[in-house]
Structure 1
Amino acid sequence: MPKLNIVLVEPRIHANAGNIARTCAVTGARLHLVGPYGFSLDDKHLKRAGLDYWHLLDISYYDSLPDFFEKNPDGAFYYFTTKAHKVYTDIAYPDNSYLFFGREDAGLPEDLLRSDYEHCVRLPMIREARSLNLSNTVAVAVYEVLRQWDFPQLENFGRLPD
């Protein structure tokens, strides 16, 4: 099965992180949390947002971006930012893609964006809006990649009970 990785860099809001954890759990995406965090990792609100899906989650923790890159040197890295010129749907995401998302209040560090600007992507939105909610952005991105991959190992049909 292709590997999809979600990287949250310095998340600040426990509810967003919990919602993103739930998205990762139900889709099989691996979650990488890069500190420092704006909440405690044992926060009951974080766990509540993820509901009872924590046992399905593949999660790794890092002290910093250098720590992350040292432990994950390979892969296709894509940086979601309002500062990008490319639209996220213009990318053909390969296996072992890493989708990076920054702090709710500041986004990803600009030096990171400048270092690999060709891999920066954005979700289109009206000019007057600052940004879409982080957990919503992650969900849109995850499902775009999985759509391109034809939803590997995901159940894509349901049925009504008799």
Structure 2
Amino acid sequence: MVKLMVNGVERAFDGDEDTPLLWYLRDELGLTGTKYGCGIAACGACTVHIDARRPLACITPVGVLEGAQVKTIEGLSEKGDHPVQEAWRDLNVAQCGYCQAGQIMQAAALVDQYDTVTDDDIDAVMSANICRCGTYPRIRAAIKQAAGQQASGAAMDADVRKRSRSDA
């Protein structure tokens, strides 16, 4: 039996440990936001967060996830207000939408990891995710917007902490 956390909920998997995480998420847990795209780790539609990594759920066997923290698109933000999700909506990034969960998960990891992102950062990280509709310019713009929101939020938090200390 493999014990893991999925979107903050403790889970136990008692099946074939070679089962891809994607099928466990979709078929057993009903978390259908993570998409099946190619099944060979070539498209990125099934990108999730596992601990500090962004593996592809279609080729990650559940058996290697003992004690892991798995986050899917459903667990990215309870209210759908992660800066990347907000930027995606603001800029109407999605066209057909099929790849978007994977794109958002990859972009969120990038934005959460760095205070600022460059075009080179975006190219390096997002190259693992394919958009068959070609919305790459909108994806890039949304990532930059989200990174700006993250930085602004961090600056506001720091300013509030600074004012709180001076008021004390």
TM-score after normalising by structure 1: 0.24
Q: Which has the larger radius of gyration?
A: 2
Which has more helix, going by share of residues? Answer: 2
Which structure shows the higher strand fraction?
A: 1
Q: Which of 1 and 2 has higher RCO (CA within 8 Å, sep 6+)? A: 1
Tell me the TM-score normalised to structure 2 length: 0.24
